[in-house]
Amino acid sequence: MTAVQSTVVYDSDLRRRPLITEFQNFWRYRGLIRLLVIRDLTVRYKRSVLGVWWTILNPMLTIAVLWIVFSNFFGRGGVLGEPYVVYLTAGILMATYFSQGVIAAGSAIVNSRNILIKIYIPPEIFSLSAGVAAATHFVLSLLPLFILQLATGQGIPWTVVLVPIPLVFMLMLVTGLGLLIASAAVYFRDVLDISRVVTQLLNYLIPTFWTIDFIEGTKAEIIVQANPVYSFLVVFRWWVYGGPTPPAWTLLMMAGASVAALVLGVYVFSRNWRRVVVRL
Amino acid sequence: MTAPSPIEVHDVSLRYRLDRANVGTIKEAAVRTLRRQRTVESIHALDGVSFSVERGEIFGVVGPNGAGKSTLMKIIARVLPPTSGRVVVRGQVAPMIELGSGMNPELTARENIIIYGALLGRDPRHMRDRVEAIVEWAGVEEFVDVPTRSFSSGMMARLAFGVATDIQPEVLVVDEVLSVGDKAFRAKSQARMFELINGGSAVVVVSHSIPLLQEVSTRAMWLDRGRIKMLGTAGEVLDGYQASG
């Protein structure tokens, strides 16, 4: 045993200050977040024979199928200035980051029930950790994209150094949406299933394997562009392989939607956390 | 001047709204709301509970199932915030409630010790140095780099107990923990608990085992349906509880 000199005082009268407390917790618990992310990665890689390669292989298989099926459709239309396989891969990777991140962040609190009902840890830490783990997977999956860019002669432009910007904004978006889902999930068990379906649908609504010129000038185009994930997609394609330069509003939308989702998610969770822990 | 009590509980109540129909899905809720069938009622898990625990004291809590014992433990462990009243806990809390649930079976004993320690609020660097001592205490030295999936429940309990009691916490919360494991582990964990108590921890023990509480506790509280039925020396409270059947 070692003596630990501590002056930790818990006083239930010191109430949470919405938003401030949570963001302080994110910073205060950064060491634990790091460990939880490492745990998440270790567990995932230990479970499969292929280990870390599985994370890369998994989206690649999806991409291979889509490429075989759709390359004749979209690859030869001449609308794309870039190789279809690069266009497709970049789109699928960003869409996967979004859908997996939202679901992971949304289910993290319920999944950590065993810990949360016994040890005091701010629950929002688990949602952020799940988001960071999804971001890490996204970074790992960039490697095959780079290989494809080199193999197709598309190359890797200098703007690739800007990719951390959509990466971080996406982390904010998935953590915020995850906390909203988590707040609702303790009341209704089916919220997570519904979210799964909705994120899946949202992913079909953005041009991952298809191209926007199919719906150009229609009402459908407005619906597609109103989806914040669309702005991530076009900005990411622009920076990661030198895709077409998107209009300025996409940058604003990407940043605005992410900050709004994070602030709203944290705020709603903060207002509900007492009910969340009682019902866990 | 005396030091302030490690645990102070002032007039604490915990209420929550429970839907009798146990509505679990949005679909069900929508249907029930349309049919005006929602039956929400307020449950008083704890009602005006006040007490304090001093350093070196072992405070036993007894009561029938549903009396609010576990809820009280969660409030002291900071897991649940009280609806009204005030709780002050001074110092590190080591909760020992159903051990082992914080451990991940896919990770090795070493990895679990570090994560479990971090969850309990301890520095990972410090935990890394403590791994050897903890596995030795738990008697699992040979399996330190083996996934805990292959551990027996006894080994898991020893490991978790070893991590939780690796520091001298100011407050130790024990919920039925001493009833797990074999005789040797019970003796060993009791010895460790007394070490901590002698080191100055304030201990709260929840148990259904009256003989155990009679042996270890100095003061006791009898809870019934969220209220204090009796609060006093261990002898009188435990005798009173036993006499009530």
DSSP for B159-211 reads HHHHHHTSB--SEEEEESGGGSS-HHHHHHHHHHHHHHHHTT-EEEEE-S-HH
Q: Residue A15: which residues within 8 A CB-CB, separation 6 or more? A: none
Tokens for A4, please give them.
């630990």
Tokens for B174, please give them.
């024990």
**By the 8 A CB rule, do A141 and A93 touch?**
yes
Query: How many angstroms away from the CA of B220 is the closest CA of chain A?
Result: 22
Give the span between the Cα atoms of B228 and A100, in whole angstroms. 48
Pairing assessment for the beta strands B93-97 and B84-90 based on DSSP bridges: unpaired
From the list A238, A79, A231, A67, the residue with the least C-alpha distance to A148 is A67
Asked if A190's CB is within 8 angstroms of B27's CB, the reply is: yes
Q: How many CB atoms lie within 10 A of CB A276?
A: 21
Closest partner CB to B119 (pick from A117, A119, A279) = A119
A7 touching B (Cβ < 8 Å): yes
Asked if A43's CB is within 8 angstroms of B170's CB, the reply is: no
Asked if B123's CB is within 8 angstroms of A39's CB, the reply is: no
Residues of B in contact with A194 (CB under 8 A): 26
A-B Cβ pairs (cutoff 8 Å, strict): 123
Q: Residue A122: which residues within 8 A CB-CB, separation 6 or more? A: A21, A22, A25, A29
- What's the DSSP call for residue B6? S
Residues of A in contact with B85 (CB under 8 A): 12
B108 touching A (Cβ < 8 Å): no
Least confident of A12-16, A20-24, A96-100, A115-119: A12-16
Give the span between the Cα atoms of B193 and B174, in whole angstroms. 10
A248 touching B (Cβ < 8 Å): no
**By the 8 A CB rule, do B146 and B177 touch?**
no
Asked if A3's CB is within 8 angstroms of B81's CB, the reply is: no
Write out chain B's pLDDT in tens, 245 residues.
Answer: 467 888 999 999 998 776 655 556 777 777 766 666 656 677 788 999 999 999 888 899 999 888 888 889 889 988 888 989 999 999 888 777 665 667 888 889 999 999 888 888 888 888 899 999 999 988 888 998 988 888 887 788 888 888 888 888 888 888 765 556 677 777 887 788 778 877 888 889 888 778 878 888 889 999 998 899 999 998 899 999 988 86
Q: How many CB atoms lie within 10 A of CB A35?
A: 20
Query: Cα-flanking dihedrals φ and ψ of residue A11, to 5°?
Result: -125, 115
* ipTM of this complex prediction, to 2 decimal places: 0.83
Residues of B in contact with A8 (CB under 8 A): 90-92, 121
CA A147 centroid distance within chain: 22
pLDDT at B24: 66
Closest partner CB to A119 (pick from B75, B114, B120) = B120
B98 touching A (Cβ < 8 Å): yes
Asked if A191's CB is within 8 angstroms of B26's CB, the reply is: yes
**By the 8 A CB rule, do A280 and A192 touch?**
no
Give the span between the Cα atoms of B102 and B115, in whole angstroms. 9
Asked if A39's CB is within 8 angstroms of B119's CB, the reply is: no
Angle subtended at Cα A127 by Cα A163 and Cα A23, rounded to the nearest 5 degrees: 80
pTM of the model: 0.87
Q: Name the closest residue on chain A to residue B117, using Cα atoms.
A: A32
Angle subtended at Cα B29 by Cα A274 and Cα A109, rounded to the nearest 5 degrees: 35
Amino acid at B121: G
Query: How many angstroms away from the CA of B225 is the closest CA of chain A?
Result: 18
The arrangement of strands across the sheet holding B171-175 comes to: B93-97, B171-175, B202-206, B58-62, B219-224, B227-233
Q: Name the closest residue on chain A to residue B115, using Cα atoms.
A: A35
